């Protein structure tokens, strides 16, 4: 690697969650897929890396610039595009901006991992699909999602 920054970028880089949806997949199904993969990524042994980068970014501008500017931006853009599209399509009756929705969705997943002691992670991941479904439904209800239309 030609620099520490290049090494750090390679170490931190992850493509946005690779979710391949059928053309007919509704928003709820898409969010359940994204949330399931996100929870699994954060709960994995390597899942601590983004948390460490976030903490280190507070005191190390080099890490912060790299993490926010080159690593996190693709993930954030993906979620904003998905949420803005749903808002534009009238899928939510209670929100007109994406930030709080995204923070609730992803923040709840992160807190679930952080609040689970390491010795209980295996049990947490075994029950992840039920938690993810319930969590996504809770956030969608808060945004005024019409479950009748999908």
**35-59 pLDDT per residue, tens:** 998 898 889 887 887 778 778 888 8
For residues 33 and 21, the answer to whether their CB atoms sit within 8 Å is yes
According to the model, what pLDDT value does residue 22 have?
Answer: 64
56-97: pLDDT as tens digits: 888 888 878 877 777 778 778 888 998 999 999 999 999 999
According to the model, what pLDDT value does residue 19 have?
Answer: 58
Reported as type and span, the H/E element at residue 94 is none
According to the model, what pLDDT value does residue 6 have?
Answer: 73
CA pair distance 75, 35, nearest whole angstrom: 12
pTM (2 d.p.): 0.82
145 bridge partner residues: 92
Residue 89's contacts (CB-CB under 8 Å, 6 or more residues apart) are none
CA pair distance 21, 3, nearest whole angstrom: 38
Name the phi and psi angles at 13, rounded to 5: -65, 130
Per-residue tokens: 14: 């992850």
145 three-state secondary structure? strand
According to the model, what pLDDT value does residue 16 have?
Answer: 55
């Amino acid at each position: 690697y030609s620099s520490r920054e290049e090494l750090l970028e390679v170490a931190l880089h992850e493509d946005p969650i690779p979710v391949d949806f059928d053309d007919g997949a509704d928003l709820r199904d898409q969010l359940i897929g994204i949330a399931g993969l996100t929870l699994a990524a954060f709960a994995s042994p390597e899942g601590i890396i983004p948390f460490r980068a976030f903490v280190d970014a507070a005191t190390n501008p080099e890490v912060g610039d790299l993490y926010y500017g080159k690593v996190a931006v693709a993930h954030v853009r993906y979620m904003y595009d998905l949420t803005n599209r749903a808002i534009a399509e009238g899928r939510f009756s209670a929100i007109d901006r994406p930030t709080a929705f995204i923070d609730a969705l992803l923040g709840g997943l992160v807190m679930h991992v952080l609040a689970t002691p390491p010795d209980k992670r295996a049990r947490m991941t075994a029950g992840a699909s039920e938690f993810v479904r319930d969590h996504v439904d809770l956030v969608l209800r808060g945004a005024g999602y019409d479950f009748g239309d999908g």
